[in-house]
Structure formats: C-alpha cells, structure tokens
Amino acid sequence: MRSIAEALQSMLPAFPTLGEEEVPLTRAAGRYLASDIVADLDSPAFDNSAMDGYAVRAAVVASASTDIPVRLRVSSESRTGGDIPSELEPGTVCRIFTGATMPPGADAVVIQEDTKRDGEEVDIFEASTVGRHVRARGSDVRRGETILRQGDRLWPGEIGLLASQNVARMRVYRQPRVALLSTGDELETLGEELAPGKIINSNVYVLGEMLGLLGAIPDPLPAARDDLPSIEAALRRALEADVVITIGGVSVGAYDLVHEAFQHLGIDPEFWKVRIKPGKPLAFAQHHGKPVIGLPGNPISAMVTFEVLVAPCLRQMLGDREPHPQPLVARLQHAYHRRPGRVEIARGVATRHGDEIHVSLHKLQGSGSLPSFVGVNALVILPSDRGDFNAGDQVDTILWGSGLRGPHSFFDSVS
C-alpha cells in the first residue's frame, strides 16, 4: 500500500498542462497564465501629480515657510484627463489635481493644504524638493519589464495590472474537463423521490463544486448501475474527458465492479490503495496517458482523498507552479486517541487566539458522515505512527474552505 507521498509521486507526472488558449480579460479570473506578460506601457504613462495642489519648480519655492511664504502667479491649470499643459512659465505655478499631467518645467507639487490662494496668485508656505508628490513616468512599471509570469494565477490584483496595461486578451492554460462517474444501484438524482434503500448521489455535487473551485470543468455523467455493462459504457463515455474520476465501487465488496470494468477496458491501475484515513481504497491509472482515478464512495473519503491527492495534480494541470498546500501549525485543543497505521486527515475547526491557531476536531470523524464536513475550516494531518494526541499538541493543519474567520473585526484591536 502506498503512502500519500508515494501516491502523489506516481500521479503528478500524469497531469501536465493541457495546452493554451486565449481569453478576454473579463473571463480570465482564476485562470493561470501560459506565458509571461511584458509591459507595453510605462506606468504611470506620464509624470503626474499625486496630490491636489500646485506644480512648481522646487528651486523657486526653496525658501518658503509658514512665516515667510513665497507668493507666485498661477499661470496655468492642469486637470485630470484634461489637455496636456504647456511649459510652465518661469517664476509661476500651475494649479494641478491628483492624476493630472505635470507641466514640462515643473518638478514638484506643493499640496493645496500648504498654500493660500489669492485671486491670480498663491502663497506657498512650504518648501519642496524635486520629485515631491510627483508620480514619475515609469516609476511603477517600465515598458519592456516582465510584470506577470507564466503560471501566475489571475486574482483581482493581477487583473487590475493587466487592465491598466490595456491587455484585453491573454494566453492561459486550458482547463481540464473532468468526468465524474458515480457508481451504485442506490444512487438517485437530486430532487427525485427516495425509495427505501436509496440515497441521493451527493458526491457528484460535492466533487463538482470542488472541481469548479480549483478552476477545472466538471463533467458529471449519469450514475452507472452496479453492473459491468453499465459501468463499462459509462467509462467509455468518461474517457472522452481530459481526466476521469470514478466514485465508489473500488472497494472489496461483491458489487465493487470498477476494478473489473477497468480491466475490460485495458485500464491498468498503478495502485489500488493508499495509506490515508479516511479513504484507503483509491485507484490510479493512466489510459493512453489519460489519468483515471477511482475515488472511494464514502462521502468524506471522497472529499478527503480528492483534496489531498487529486487537487494538487489538477492544480499542476491547470498551470499552477505551486500546487501543494502548505500546512500551518495549530494547537490541538483536546486529546484524541486512535489506532496508528495510516495518515489521518481529520476535520476540524481552527480559530485564532493571540499568536496561535487553535484547532478542535469535529466530534464526528466517520468516513460517511456528511455533517462532519459542515463548518469545517481545517484539515488536521495526524501522522501514521502516532495514535495518542494530547491537548496542547502541535499539529499540521491545512486551512480549508473559508479559512480563519470570526464574528468581530480584527481591526477593533488595531489602531
């Protein structure tokens, strides 16, 4: 049986990026860049004022002070978005506003608060230095500079930078389409009446959402029955996607027929089991280079194995240079005892207390218990060789879902 690390080592090489496509900026959020982006424009594109005030030549106001102001004529005005101002007449100032172009010949801005206007003239009460309150052309970005790198994910900040550079379209990696093939005679579609012994196919909705949040495209197929022809037919259809995920039927029960269906289609798993709890039965194969993953059917097992083993692979496929979550260290709030042997991914609630993250495990830790994932914001990693954990022990914890939140603003205690 493989460790989680060994399983990931086998899986990751099967998830290269899928090629590129061009998207408009308005469709690019959450995507990963397929190439570096080089600035086409200086930013700012022109010297402009950082404040409302008066554009001056610093040398002319060098002697200004509150007691002995320098009085100068206001010879021009530069409005934000207005005409390009002409050269500043020597010995005068130009009325200017935030974002407006600096007139040639001016090299500093005196803020309005340090002046007093008197008709056509203004008293300057504060000396200035060259460049003060001026946003110089190219001071943020120089034309020709690499501003974003291949593999960067486009979050709002990146979108803003691209928009400011007038980049309307960009090359991103293609999103994998991931077939979700549930198996089980007990499964019903959401909204259908539940006959005795039947359950709603909740996994397909959960995994569909998890795929969407990663940035992949879920392709949920109708659930297959627990018979070989049904599973095989569904698998053939699933193999049209970029990645195949089957759900359920990978265990050792008489109706766990996914093994056999794989065999019939020539899908040859590299492994069937991983030392992870919940979720031991987990198959991974490559069919003509296409990744095929058999997830366990128990809802919590499916979620945990997806998050730990499948999500990093898909992030890599989506173009992420850093596909692996980095745990933070949290302090367990209570004792927990279990049988060692597998790495356990326990669901918990993390909170912040001063310098520390505290984590409490959900009291339900069963592999089928859906309430055990509700309100959870932390996956606690319990190493395989330890069975006894005490209150106060430090545990590695991956933040999940909403992350750390609280009812009170942190800024109540920050001035």
Q: In this complex, which beta carbon is closest to Mg ion, that of residue 101 or of residue 305?
A: 305
85, 151, 215, 299: residue in contact with ligand AMP (rule CB under 6 A): 299
Q: Which stretch binds ligand AMP (CB under 6 A): 117-125, 232-240, 251-259, 323-331?
A: 251-259
DSSP character at residue 327 = -
44, 69, 85, 184: residue in contact with Mg ion (rule CB under 5 A): 184
Task: Quote the least distance from Cβ 388 to ligand AMP, whole Å.
Answer: 29
Give CA–CA dist 382/4, Å, rounded: 12
Answer with the entry of Mg ion, ligand AMP, none that 182 interacts with (C-beta below 5 to 8 A by kind).
ligand AMP
Residue 202 interacts with ligand AMP (CB under 6 A)?
Answer: yes
Q: Which stretch binds ligand AMP (CB under 6 A): 68-76, 119-127, 180-188, 372-380?
A: 180-188
Q: Which stretch binds ligand AMP (CB under 6 A): 31-39, 247-255, 303-311, 328-336?
A: 247-255
DSSP character at residue 131 = T
Which H or E element spans position 49? strand 48-49
Instruction: Report the phi/psi class of residue 401: left, alpha or beta, with left for phi > 0 and alpha for psi in -120 to 50.
Output: left
Strand ranges, E, within 240-289: 243-247, 271-273, 276-277, 281-287
Contact call for residues 176 and 243 (beta carbons, < 8 A): yes
Residue 278 interacts with ligand AMP (CB under 6 A)?
Answer: no
DSSP character at residue 89 = P
Q: Which stretch binds Mg ion (CB under 5 A): 61-69, 181-189, 281-289, 367-375?
A: 181-189
Q: Which stretch binds ligand AMP (CB under 6 A): 32-40, 92-100, 248-256, 375-383?
A: 248-256
x/- mask, Mg ion, residues 264-303, rule CB under 5 A, reads ---------------------------------x------
Residue 293 interacts with ligand AMP (CB under 6 A)?
Answer: no
Residue 178 interacts with ligand AMP (CB under 6 A)?
Answer: no
Give CA–CA dist 243/256, Å, rounded: 21
Task: Quote the least distance from Cβ 193 to Mg ion, whole Å.
Answer: 21
Residue 249 interacts with Mg ion (CB under 5 A)?
Answer: yes
Which H or E element spans position 159? helix 156-164
Answer with the entry of ligand AMP, Mg ion, none that 78 interacts with (C-beta below 5 to 8 A by kind).
none
Q: Which stretch binds Mg ion (CB under 5 A): 7-15, 182-190, 266-274, 378-386?
A: 182-190
Scan for tokens 């009446």, then name that residue: 193
Give the 3-state secondary structure percentages of the chain, helix then strand then coil, rounded to 5. Answer: 20, 30, 45
Give CA–CA dist 190/221, Å, rounded: 14
Query: Which of 327, 335, 387, 384 lies closest to 357 in space, CA to CA?
Result: 327
Task: Quote the least distance from Cβ 249 to Mg ion, whole Å.
Answer: 5
Instruction: Report the phi/psi class of residue 192: left, alpha or beta, with left for phi > 0 and alpha for psi in -120 to 50.
Output: beta
Residue 305 interacts with ligand AMP (CB under 6 A)?
Answer: no
**374: Cβ–Cβ under 8 A, 6 or more apart, which residues?**
none
Residue 18's φ and ψ, nearest 5 degrees, are -105, 10
Give CA–CA dist 307/351, Å, rounded: 21
44, 53, 151, 248: residue in contact with Mg ion (rule CB under 5 A): 248
What's the distance, CA 49 to chain centroid? 35
Q: In this complex, which beta carbon is closest to ligand AMP, that of residue 17 or of residue 202?
A: 202
Q: Which stretch binds Mg ion (CB under 5 A): 65-73, 121-129, 231-239, 248-256?
A: 248-256
Residue 85 interacts with Mg ion (CB under 5 A)?
Answer: no
Site for ligand AMP, residues 88 to 127, rule: CB under 6 A: none
Site for Mg ion, residues 348 to 407, rule: CB under 5 A: none
Per-residue b/e over 32-68, b at no fewer than 16 CB within 10 Å?
bbbeebebeebbbeebbbebbbbbbbbebbeebeeee
Answer with the entry of ligand AMP, Mg ion, none that 202 interacts with (C-beta below 5 to 8 A by kind).
ligand AMP
Residue 176 interacts with ligand AMP (CB under 6 A)?
Answer: no
160, 229, 253, 371: residue in contact with ligand AMP (rule CB under 6 A): 253
Binding residues for ligand AMP (CB under 6 A): 182, 184, 186-187, 199, 201-204, 247-249, 251, 253, 256, 296-299, 368
